[in-house]
Chains A and B, each alone.
Chain A
Amino acid sequence: DAGVTQSPTHLIKTRGQQVTLRCSPKSGHDTVSWYQQALGQGPQFIFQYYEEEERQRGNFPDRFSGHQFPNYSSELNVNALLLGDSALYLCASSLVGTDPYEQYFGPGTRLTVT
C-alpha cells in the first residue's frame, strides 16, 4: 500500500519563475491538501482539493494555484516566485468524511528560490 508520494524532492528556481509540484495520495484517499513550511516554523495550510475542485483555501495569494486530476493526484503551481516562497511544501491526503480526521503526509518538496 503506497503512501503519499511527492515529486520532485528538491527544486531550485529563480525569482519570477513558475514552478509545479506534484503529489499522489495514499491509496484509497480522495482529498489532497497542500501546506507550506518555512524553515523553523510549523506547516501552514495553502488549500485543499476534493472532487477536482478547491474546497478550502488558506491565507495565500492567487500566485498559488492547484489542480486535482480524476485519479486524485494533485499539482501545486506557484507563479512569479519570490524569495519568501522558499520552503518545504508538504502534500497530505485524506478520505473525506472520516472521523476522526487524519491526514497522511508525503516527504515534501524542498523549494529554493534564488
Chain B
Amino acid sequence: SQQGEEDPQALSIQEGENATMNCSYKTSINNLQWYRQNSGRGLVHLILIRSNEREKHSGRLRVTLDTSKKSSSLLITASRAADTASYFCATDKIGAQKLVFGQGTRLTINP
C-alpha cells in the first residue's frame, strides 16, 4: 500500500506561474525525496530533504518538511512548459533501504 498521499492529483497552470504540490505520509521517516516522471518513463530525482531539515532549495525548486504534521510541499517557481510531468514524493525509514511513494501529482504547464 502507498504510504504517501499527494494533492492535488492534477494541477494545471499558466507558464510563468508558481506550482505547489503537497505530500502527506503516515509513519516516521528518515528522508523525503521528490521525483519527476515524464510520460510514463523513468523517475528523475529532484531533491532530498532529511527529517531534521525544514526547508531546502535547488534552483527553481523549494521543498519544505513539517514532521509534526507528516507533510511536505514542493514549490516550482516561474514554471516552464518543460515542467509538465508527474511529480512524486517518496519516503524512506532508518534501516529500510526502500522508498515508499505517493500517488503523484500530474502537473500541466500551459504556454
User: Which residues of A are in contact with B by a Cβ distance under 8 Å?
Assistant: 4, 31, 33, 35, 39-45, 48, 55-56, 58-59, 88, 90, 92, 94, 96, 100-108, 110
Contacts and interface: CB of A to CB of B under 8 A. Distances in A.
Which range contains the number of B residues in contact with the other chain?
20 to 34
A96 B1 contact: no
Given A59-B1, A108-B42, A102 B97 contact: no
Contacts of B103: 40-42
Contacts of A48: 97-98
B1 A42 contact: no
Contacts of A42: 2, 4, 88, 90, 101-104
A92 B41 CA distance: 13
Contact of B42 (A39, A56, A105): A105
Contacts of B31: 100-101
A45 B42 contact: no
B12 interface: no
